[in-house]
Amino acid sequence: MKAFQVGLCSIWLSGFVLIALSLYVTQRLPSLNDRIKVSKLNLGDLGKPRITIFSATSPFNGSVGARQSLAIRSWLALSPQISVVLFSQHPSVVSFAGDFGSRVLVESNIDFTFLGTPFFHSMIARSQSFTSDIFVLIDPETILLNDFISTLSYAYELDRDWLLVASSQNISHFPFYLDEAGKRWLRGDGKWMRTQELQEILCQSWQWNHCKGRMLMAWNSGDLPLHAGVLPPFLYGKGIHNNWVINEAMSSDFRFVFDSSWTISSFHLYDPEPWSSGVVGNSKVSGIEMRSWEYVGNSHIGALYGSLLYQEANYSSLVKLLKCDRKYIFFNPTENFVYPYGYQSSFRLWKERILHPWRKRRIMACIDGINSLEKIPDCSLKDHMKLSAPLEFSFSLESLLPFIADKNKTIVLAVVGYSYKDMLMSWVCRLRRLLITNFMICALDQETYQFSVLQGLPVFKDPLAPSNISFNDCHFGTKCFQRVTKVKSRMVLTILKLGYNVLLSDVDVYWFENPLPLLYTFGPAFLVAQSDEYKTTGPINLPRRLNSGFYFARCDDSTIAAMERVVKHAATSGLSEQPSFYDTLCGEGGSYRVGDNRCVEPETNLTVYFLDRDLFPNGAYLDLWRKKNVKSACVKKGCLILHNNWISGRLKKLERQVLSGLWDYESGTRMCLQSWHNFKLTS
């Protein structure tokens, strides 16, 4: 192995590095001259391609931050045509980017899990909304050297749409740094060193693993997609996704896919004890750093989408990019031949009539060195995708609460079953848009639980939830609805007893603004709830007009005692929980009513306040849902929320909300709708 490494480094450092396109692929793909997306007339510095590098960073803390900083500075040092976009929600990333002006941008408007792990499909979608000649996705702790630019410049001249992949070497010790100008590499003693010398030193500790190592991907801004079908919601950095993209790209045959591992010097700086720092991604969780369910989730998704589980491409069969005798050639390991790009004759004709004997010897020596690549075990992911491990969080309700609650110890709770999963996600996406993060989901069934885990939501299961929940027949008035609603008051009571305030919101409640600042103005011993009264005049606290789909309860003694009475009453009722709320807190027939908008429960002295319907309208008030522009009408009225109730049937409810434009989720891609979906930004 040592001899192989030394021989490999000598090939690399002599310029015997790879970029390969096979005759086989050339014959399979038609000429794509008409597919060139970027006009050379639009290029910047002397016709050089604009390159945008995308990466998802951890917070810039400790050794992780130092490695990330060095890596990103190495990218920027390569060319003024390089811009960097960092996906993160952490303030330290914004602070770091500020030192580089417009060359480094921070993008937080993509989908993240509640622990801060970015979604790979959202990263790819966001990157493609930028305007650039070449797009690169890379690990934030990977250093790049000069041949990265020459390789991409060569690839950019290809007359077809392409996808380039390159594995990085793993290095645990890197005693070098860039000067203040970010132009030259220095030793620990401050002496300048050439890039070739740096490569030679790094080759001495050569480690490379196609399966588990880091990988960069780059593609040109062509007309063709990277692959057929939908990119599933993989979690970035949690396995499977890179190889899934390569597999689907090769299977789809839209783009020319090639391996440039031997023409791009990339070095991944890693910590041999990765959990010693206690920092993983943007996570604020210290006791569950391994987060194995994220890897399990990616395995589940990889098995469900695409063809990877059934037809896995052989990574070693990828066309290799080689640079032999200072010339780029293409090496097809499957058919074991090389040829120069664009030469339409066979390899035999090229070899016998064009190649001089001395050059033939050089190239054959180069190829012999590359052939030793086949000694490296090929990467197979099928074993990783066998669904042996359950898709379960390491969280209970009790362990989730302190991480989710806001500074006032308040939780926004939604209780939902699988038939409402899309409406759940639209609700979640809207809360994320409003920068509300203190929400959590109580899943009524296993399907909702697993869906929520895959979507990165803070979810827990109710062990006492009713079974046999109907998919299409669980709306207001049905027996299923009556059973399901009783879970809500029971879970609210449980959380109150654990010391947290609760804002219970059904997922069919659209939020225009965050209502919590207003709700906090109501003190202890107040329960504030939406009124279901549809008449525009008269009292709003009439019998059975308390809507239990949106209310705020504080964790004080009066509220807990009153909620215990509600839960007890609902448990023996043949109706839903909503009548139990009113009859218990306002008295049967409204005997505890005070004025037109409140009740006072005498035993607990709890005041129930019915919220102003101009701010918290129900689905029948002022016929807002029938307005030509629902959003405009509600904003003009000053609505904080709008409840999509007073309509019968799940499908009708769903249709009304989607057609109104009060919808924030794309179910086909499993992504929140973002403002950048409709336009491109120039990096």
Q: Which backbone phi and psi does 453 adopt, to 5 degrees?
A: -60, -45
Report DSSP letters for 421-453, one per residue.
HHHHHHHHHHHHHTT---EEEEESSHHHHHHHH
* Average pLDDT over the chain, rounded to an integer: 82
Measuring CA to CA, which residue among 427, 412, 400 is closest to residue 550? 412
Q: Which backbone phi and psi does 551 adopt, to 5 degrees?
A: -155, 155
Overall average pLDDT of the 419-439 stretch: 97
- Using DSSP's 3-state secondary structure scheme, residue 113 falls into coil
Residue 621 is predicted with a pLDDT of 97
Measuring CA to CA, which residue among 528, 375, 274 is closest to residue 8? 375
- Using DSSP's 3-state secondary structure scheme, residue 143 falls into strand
Q: Is 413 exposed, middle or buried (0-12, 13-18, 19+ CB in 10 A)?
A: buried
Residue 565 is predicted with a pLDDT of 95
Residues 6+ apart with CB under 8 A from 77: 178, 182, 183
More confident residue, 271 or 531: 531
More confident residue, 585 or 184: 585
> Is residue 427 a contact partner of residue 507, using CB atoms and an 8 Å limit?
yes
pLDDT in tens, 348-371: 434 444 455 555 566 666 666 555
Q: Which two tokens stand for residue 447?
A: 């399907």
Residue 328 is predicted with a pLDDT of 85
pLDDT in tens, 265-302: 888 887 765 543 333 344 444 444 457 888 889 988 98
> Is residue 617 a contact partner of residue 634, using CB atoms and an 8 Å limit?
yes
Residue 487 is predicted with a pLDDT of 86
Overall average pLDDT of the 91-107 stretch: 96
Residues 6+ apart with CB under 8 A from 291: 115, 117, 280, 283, 394
Q: Is the dihedral of CA 538, 543, 549, 551 positive or negative?
A: positive
Residue 393 is predicted with a pLDDT of 79
pTM for the model stands at 0.85
Measuring CA to CA, which residue among 387, 507, 510 is closest to residue 448? 507
C-alpha 132/C-alpha 472 separation (Å) is: 46
More confident residue, 303 or 628: 628
C-alpha 20/C-alpha 32 separation (Å) is: 18
Q: Which two tokens stand for residue 285?
A: 């969780």
Name 529's bridge partners. Answer: 551, 610
C-alpha 676/C-alpha 130 separation (Å) is: 9
Q: Which two tokens stand for residue 631?
A: 């959003």
pLDDT in tens, 48-69: 899 999 999 999 999 999 999 9
Q: Which two tokens stand for residue 486?
A: 């009783």
C-alpha 54/C-alpha 136 separation (Å) is: 6
pLDDT band at residue 395 under the 50/70/90 scheme: confident
> Is residue 298 a contact partner of residue 241, using CB atoms and an 8 Å limit?
yes
- Using DSSP's 3-state secondary structure scheme, residue 540 falls into coil
> Is residue 457 a contact partner of residue 437, using CB atoms and an 8 Å limit?
no
More confident residue, 473 or 22: 473
* Residue 110 predicted with pLDDT over 60: yes
C-alpha 130/C-alpha 112 separation (Å) is: 19
Overall average pLDDT of the 475-488 stretch: 64
SS3 content of the chain, % helix, strand, coil (to 5): 35, 20, 45
Least confident span in 308-322, 423-437, 453-467? 308-322
Measuring CA to CA, which residue among 184, 211, 463, 462 is closest to residue 312? 211
> Is residue 218 a contact partner of residue 134, using CB atoms and an 8 Å limit?
yes
Please state the length of the chain. 683
C-alpha 155/C-alpha 133 separation (Å) is: 11
Proportion of the chain above pLDDT 90, given as a percent? 56
pLDDT in tens, 167-211: 888 887 787 878 877 778 888 777 877 777 777 666 665 555 556
Residue 668: what residue type?
G
C-alpha 423/C-alpha 645 separation (Å) is: 13
C-alpha 209/C-alpha 200 separation (Å) is: 19
pLDDT in tens, 231-262: 999 999 998 899 899 999 999 999 999 999 88
pLDDT in tens, 595-651: 999 999 999 999 999 999 999 999 999 999 999 999 999 999 999 999 999 998 889
